[in-house]
Amino acid sequence: MGAPVLLASEVSKRFGPVKALDKVEFHLDPGEVHALLGINGAGKSTFIKILSGIVQKDSGTITVAGQEVHFRAPEDAIRAGIATVQQHPELVPDMTGYENIFLGRETHGRGMLGRVDQRGLIARAAALLQRFAVPIDLSRTVAQMSAVEREAVAILQALAADDIRVLILDEPTSTLTDVERDDLFRLMNILRDQGISMIYITHQLEEVFEIADSFSVFRGGRCVARMSIDDARAQGVSLATMMLGEAMGEVFPPKAAPGTAGEVILSVRGLSSGLDFADVQFDVRQGEILGVFGLVGSGCDELAKAIFGAQPAERGQILVNGEEVMPGSPRDALAAGIFLVPGDRRTEGLALTRTALFNIPLANLGRASGKGWVLRRRRIREDAQRMTAQVALHPPSLTIPASGYSGGNQQKIVLAKGLYAEADVYIFVEPTVGVDIGARAKIYALIRELAQSAAVIVMSSDCDEVHGIADRTLALHKGRQVEPAMGTFSRDQLLMGGIMGGAHP
């Protein structure tokens, strides 16, 4: 295998009283795909930010290709041969693939206007594709591309710098379908064959055995284990147990006992919105969870937004506790007792530059205010502290900007907003995207707890998630509702209903 291409020794980092990394030991071999695992708050994100030059280590050493390096900015990491593709790549939708790849590194032609040399960009992109053989048309705009094609553009953008040896991929499959994920893995195999070493961060543990050569587990700010995939298979290792440091119990909480559901809280009748979905109808009772399974383009996201007033419905009825409400805005929905945990927490669920203390009371300003709409600051802080404790936010700080938290902990802040809302109806869209196995179990338990006093809907493109958490299920396929002939779907029937529009055995 040869000497490691990347070696970290006794790397430590503190943020005030919080020890994020504690003498981490890590190495990456040439041409290796290495999975980096750990629950939210284990130190993975901090370690990757140090390797990317975003955060500076307090102590320890890092060497690349045998040379000790010191990063004060991302440019230093790139010059040393380390490139990172973030979980949410920042691409310009209206620009072509090749324009995005060389954004900020364009070649300019002569002339007063300093126009970009388009031919030069195309030639450089062609050379890059010849090296890495990525099957993609870079002449299209990013807005015209699929999710996996956008990921490929971000990867090529990272590799466009000279002498990149190490590529860091942060949760690259979190928003991909199974087919797109397989396409990404083919691309990763191409890069591996070209000698690119990759650090692959994921919470999808089943993927580790499919694509990685080895893995490391972070826990409590330390690297507690490193193992090859072959050895892990031979020993029957449980990745979840290694991440948690204890045996993993049932991820999903017990379902409601048959016949124990209370009165109908939410009724949806013949709801339609253009081409997105049509004639959707269902009831949700207190004490139960309704699961809705649908792939990208099924209409699930649009349905959730229509109920929440963020997208207009052309016809139909929405009733809460027997009274008709047709929210024209999220404000109307919140006033009617409807709360949405959106699928894209970064753009739709949080003010990322603001703290948890700012974000949490936004869901219920009436509760946050006293007479004359004056904010009750002490009460808000007490409530926010109680709710962040309930969702197990880590670190448990109310003063860190939401952007400073891992994806899983950002989701916990959105959940704390939901608790603060004291709603009658909760709609969760993709509630555990980018969330580790341990946090997932806590989120499912919280969803079940909310269902004791509210109507709860979970919409997800993860069939196992919907089937595991819900008491009743239905599927959406191209905007059309698919229901079981009787009772509820089996797991396979639910999957077929969402994929093909029919509940096949």
User: pLDDT digits over 332-374, tens only?
Assistant: 999 999 999 988 888 888 999 999 999 999 888 888 887 767 7
Position 505 scores a pLDDT of: 42
pLDDT of residue 261: 87
What does pTM read for this prediction? 0.69
- The band of 45, judged by pLDDT with boundaries at 50, 70 and 90, is confident
Tokens of 123: 């030639």
Strands 59-64 and 67-69: antiparallel
Outline where DSSP puts E strands in 332-489.
338-341, 425-429, 455-460, 472-477, 480-482
Least confident of 48-52, 86-90, 148-152: 86-90
CA-CA distance, 149 to 153, in Å (whole number)?
Answer: 6
Tokens of 387: 């709710």
Higher pLDDT, 438 or 63: 63
Check residue 113 and give its pLDDT.
Answer: 47
Residue 110 has pLDDT above 60, yes or no: no
Strands (E), 48-119: 59-64, 67-69, 82-85
Catalogue all structural domains in the chain, each as residue range(s) with its CATH number.
6-244 (3.40.50.300), 264-500 (3.40.50.300)
Among 242-251, 395-404, 420-429, 456-465, the range scoring the smallest mean pLDDT is: 242-251
Helix and strand totals (H; E) in the chain: 18, 20
The candidate with the shortest Cα–Cα distance to 474, out of 318, 290, 319, is: 290
Could you give the percent of the chain with pLDDT greater than 90?
50
Cβ burial of 141 (10 Å; 0-12, 13-18, 19+) is middle
pLDDT tens digits, residue range 461-493? 888 899 999 999 999 999 999 987 666 788 888
DSSP state of 236: T
Average pLDDT over residues 176-189: 85
Spatial distance between the Cα atoms of 470 and 448, rounded to a whole number of angstroms: 9
SS (H, E, C) 408-442: HHHHHHHHHHHHHHCCCEEEEECCCCCCCHHHHHH
Beta-carbon contacts of 487 under 8 Å, excluding residues fewer than 6 positions away, are none
Interatomic CA distance for residues 406 and 373, integer angstroms? 33
Q: What are residue 38's DSSP bridge partners?
A: none
Is the distance from CB of 136 to CB of 153 less than 8 angstroms? yes
pLDDT tens for 301-313 read: 999 999 999 999 9
Q: Are 56 and 72 in contact (CB under 8 A)?
A: yes
13, 16, 19, 21 alpha-carbon torsion, rounded to 10°: -20
Asked whether the beta carbons of 339 and 332 are under 8 A apart, the reply is no
Torsion sign over Cα 305, 310, 311, 315? positive
pLDDT of residue 198: 96
**Tens of pLDDT, residues 427-465:** 999 988 777 777 788 889 999 999 999 999 999 988 889
